[in-house]
Structure 1
Amino acid sequence: MGSNGKPSKRISLYLQVKDTIIKRIQEKIWKPNSMIPTENELMEEFNVSRTTIRQAISFLVQDGILEKKQGKGTFIKPGIFVGSLGKLKGFAEEAIENGVFPSSKLLQVQTTGNLQAEKSTLKLPIDENIVVIERLRFANQTPVAIERSCWPNDIGKLLMNEDLNSATFYEILERNGITLKHAKEKISAINATLMEADLLGIRRGQALLKMERVSYGNDDRPIEFTTTKFRHDTYQYSIELMR
């Protein structure tokens, strides 16, 4: 955007309009289930053509962020996460910020010493145990993600003292004086296995967004290795790039 709030020419106009709409959803200026302004109102605000507005909205509809309702207008779809890279948040925090009620179902929890790759990621000795917690995550009672988190044994024991169906891990850590400093996250696309599809209520082979996160404490000790597999139609990432 230019200094006057209007689109600049350096980036395609429809992309600027699209990014502004996403930002307003993220900042809860426009909330889930609410109708966005009309084409004429958006044309006047952004000082662009109807074609530009329709192109921006079309992409957001394809991305599953907006939904057109015949004879009514264009609405913000509920249950869609529009997350931002650069902020360390848990599932529940992101859900609440998006106006969605989060909940969980514990699938399994175990203490094991057999997962060498996970222990290596957490920089643990080969003979040390880790705690593995797997949960199905819900947004407004709709299953949206499968979460598998691995923790060093001392931290995992703290979590296992809680109700893992409702526990918010980062809050528990902070309550016990453990503060997360930063994290590294890798994002990739995969296809759902039959078991994953059954849990998420989708077709086998449907696209999932796989996110792998390693979180570090104040002493730069890796204390969390979590893999979350999201339904592609329930999670979107927005990334703001500057040049």
Structure 2
Amino acid sequence: MESPVYIQIHNQIKKDIEAGKWHVGDRIPSERELAVSFSVSRMTLRQAVQTLVDEGILERRVGAGTYVASQKVQEKMSGVTSFTDVMLAQGKHPSSRTISYHIANPSLSEIEKLGLRDSEQVLRMERIRFGDNVPICFEVATVPYSLVKNFSKAEVTRSFYHTLEKKGGFEIGGARQMVSATLASERTAEYLDVKRGDAILRLRQVSYLKDGLPFEYVRTQYVGSRFEFFLDR
């Protein structure tokens, strides 16, 4: 199965950065220049670049272009808690709307984060998560397909962690979490009912089972005015 064009472009740009074509702090070519270089539409190119921005590999600077991101301070937060549990603990009704759900070849980033072989496939899903019908976050989650192939779509999208534990018999362990600030893109703003450029909290997380096996790589964008993180010391 061939990867979507935007994933192929994502992979090539990531390879170019790792090979030293661009260094931390360098401005990459404009979307127009890159679209011509890859012989694709600007929409396809923009999707590839946005994926790299969401992963923290690139960063947009208003009025200045797109740059290879500098290292951010990383703060460890406690435990792995499902969105469903967080909402219930706050007395809110959790729900979600699935935007996309498909089996695909993993990107280079997904291979690295989940420790996959090139031949393995992943389930990649996009969801808007709600608390009391108010959009809280937009989430792109990737999990090894072998882990979820026996679960239904409803079981995975409604509460993935509960399904893993109750039906799969897996024990969920810890997570590596990275939080940074960004601005809502046009697409994210539409999904979360905010204005383009509004403050967004971006969480990138790799979750592990008790045995240390990574089972989920998720990129989540939270509405800054509707969600906050706190640290347990």
TM-score (norm 2): 0.63
- Work out the number of aligned pairs and report it: 157
Q: In structure 2, what is the equivalent of residue 208 of structure 1?
A: 200
Return the index of the structure with the highest Cα Rg.
Answer: 1
Percent of aligned pairs with the same amino acid: 25
Unaligned runs of 5+ in 1: 1-83
3-state DSSP of counterpart to 1:170:
helix
Q: In structure 1, what is the equivalent of residue 190 of structure 2?
A: 198
The residue identity in structure 1 corresponding to 2:82 is G
> Where do residues 176-187 of structure 1 align in structure 2 (5 Å cutoff)?
176-187=168-179
3-state DSSP of counterpart to 1:238:
coil
- Name the CA shift for 1:201/1:128 in 2 (closer, same or farther; >3 Å): same
The residue identity in structure 1 corresponding to 2:183 is N
Identify which of 107, 119, 123 aligns with 2:111.
Answer: 119
Identify which of 135, 139, 152 aligns with 2:127.
Answer: 135
The residue identity in structure 1 corresponding to 2:162 is E
User: Aligned partners of 1:114 and 1:221: how far apart in 2?
Assistant: 17
CA RMSD of aligned residues (A): 1.8
The residue identity in structure 1 corresponding to 2:98 is L
Q: Does 1:172 align with 2:163?
A: yes
Unaligned runs of 5+ in 2: 1-75
4+ runs deviating over 3 angstroms: none
Q: 1:87: how far off?
A: 2.7
Contact 1:150 1:226 in 2 (8 A): yes
Q: Does 1:189 align with 2:181?
A: yes
The residue identity in structure 2 corresponding to 1:169 is F
Contact 1:213 1:226 in 2 (8 A): yes
Contact 1:104 1:165 in 2 (8 A): no
User: Deviations along 1:77-127, whole A, 9 cap, x unmatched?
Assistant: xxxxxxx93131011100111111110001001111141211211000112
User: Aligned partners of 1:103 and 1:129: how far apart in 2?
Assistant: 27
User: Aligned partners of 1:165 and 1:174: how far apart in 2?
Assistant: 12
3-state DSSP of counterpart to 2:110:
helix
User: Deviations along 1:124-146, whole A, 9 cap, x unmatched?
Assistant: 01121111011101111111100
User: Aligned partners of 2:198 and 2:155: how far apart in 1?
Assistant: 28
User: Deviations along 1:190-232, whole A, 9 cap, x unmatched?
Assistant: 1111011011111101111011111111221111111111000
